[in-house]
Amino acid sequence: MTCLEMRGFQIWKGYLDVATQEAVVAVVRQLVLAAPLFQPDTPYGRPMSVRMTSAGSFGWHSDQRGYRYISRHPDGMEWPAIPKKILAIWDRVTRLERPPDCCLVNWYGEGARMGLHQDRDEADFSWPVVSVSLGDDGLFRIGNRTRGGKTESVWLASGDVVVMGGDARLTYHGIDRIRFGSSRLLSRGGRLNLTLRVVT
Ligand code: SIN
Ligand code: MN
């Protein structure tokens, strides 16, 4: 297995085989039935192009009041538990004793993107964030610990896993665009990204 190191991010290419990717998609489909995808507003008032939901004790949310974790889905139901298949990826790649308490599910349809941002709504940045990519390729851009400066990009394909930890935990990152229809994992195309986070 090859691991690229880019600005402190560990990029595990092809970490999940196709059978595992299919199994993870199946549990994500169940999860989305229990906690439907929604399209949050940015604090600046514009809707995000990505649709999202979460599993775990906390789910990530954004609206006019800002970015934060909330303990229930905006429709009122509890977030579903993080599926074991997904927790197993965290265990295997981090070898940490503590499990994550949020799995954010990001769904990128055609034209969706995510601007450069830091993941900084968690209490303790010594825990890494682990990202799992499924479906269409996404162009991942990595910046710096402060806004601005030179950036580097890498295409993330289905089955790739990225560990954002250590000195890179607060590094800016985002998805410029996806190559819609580049993968056959999801029958109607699009990209799923799961990020596992320790929130408290
Ligand atoms: C994120 O930063 O929350 C998502 C990154 C990705 O979609 O790969
Ligand atoms: Mn992020």
Q: How far apart are the C-alpha atoms of 179 and 183, rounded to whole Å?
A: 9
The finding on whether 183 has its CB within 6 A of some atom of ligand 1 is: no
What are the φ and ψ backbone dihedral angles of 156, each rounded to 5 degrees?
-100, 125
Per-residue pLDDT, 45: 84
Q: Give mean pLDDT, residues 59-83.
A: 95
Q: Give mean pLDDT, residues 41-59.
A: 94
Share of the chain above pLDDT 90, in %: 94
Per-residue pLDDT, 1: 81
Q: Ligand 1: which of 51, 106, 122, 154 to mutate, most ligand atoms within 8 Å of CB?
A: 106
pLDDT of 131 higher than 90: yes
Q: Are 178 and 139 in contact (CB under 8 A)?
A: yes
Residue among 179, 194, 175 at smallest CA distance from 136: 179
Which burial class, exposed, middle or buried, applies to 129 when counting CB atoms under 10 A from its CB (0-12, 13-18, 19+)? buried
Domain that residue 122 falls in: 2-197
Strands (E), the chain: 2-6, 9-13, 51-56, 59-63, 66-70, 102-108, 114-117, 129-135, 138-142, 152-156, 161-164, 173-178, 191-197
As given in the structure block, the two tokens for residue 130 are 């682990």
**pLDDT interval class at 118 (50, 70, 90):** very high
pLDDT of 44 higher than 90: no
Q: Is the pTM of this model over 0.95?
A: yes
Q: Give mean pLDDT, residues 54-82.
A: 96
What are the φ and ψ backbone dihedral angles of 169, each rounded to 5 degrees?
-60, -30
Q: Name the residue type at position 134.
A: L
Q: How far apart are the C-alpha atoms of 16 and 27, rounded to whole Å?
A: 15
CATH code of the domain covering residue 93: 2.60.120.590
The rounded Å distance from CA 97 to ligand 2 centre is 22
The rounded Å distance from CA 145 to ligand 1 centre is 16
Task: Measure CA 118 to chain center.
Answer: 12
The rounded Å distance from CA 65 to ligand 2 centre is 19
Give the mean pLDDT of the chain.
97
Q: Are 60 and 122 in contact (CB under 8 A)?
A: no
State how many domains the chain has: 1
Beta partners for 56?
102
